[in-house]
Amino acid sequence: MTIQVGDRLPDVPLTIATSEGPRPTTTTEYFGGKRVALFAVPGAYTPTCSAKHLPSYVEKASELKGKGVDEIACTSVNDAFVMSAWNRDQGSENITMLADGNGQLADALGLTMDGAKFGMGTRSQRYSMIVNDGVVEQLNVEAPGEYQASSAETLLTQL
């Protein structure tokens, strides 16, 4: 079942990609006590993710924070080393990269997609959400192959 507005995030392990290396965390630990704009991409370095999705959050970071967001985080079914390199290459150091290397978050949220025809295996669907102290306040799931509902611009209209 797909997570809904009003639901608490399931407690699953994640890895924060930092410049000092991977740092283990959980959803309960990371999202506790703060309001986070979370967006998910099917893969680091993929065309839409690199050209549009991540850049929209980089460009709108100060506006999101001005509307009560404490942190902006990106998740993908990639390892922490890839997420860290992508963050550095994209100049998006103000975005926290949450590696979901085994796809546990995507699976627990009911937001996986089958990327096998692209050689990517099971990945996360493209989505965005506002999470306040672990509870989903807003949720925007993209239709397959689309990019608009999960953009920073859309999330800003919901704050």
CB 21 within 8 A of CB 114: no
- In the residue annotation, 74 being an active-site residue is answered as no
Tokens 């929209």 locate to: 56
Pick the catalytic residue from 14, 49, 111, 130: 49
Instruction: Catalogue the active-site residues.
Output: 49
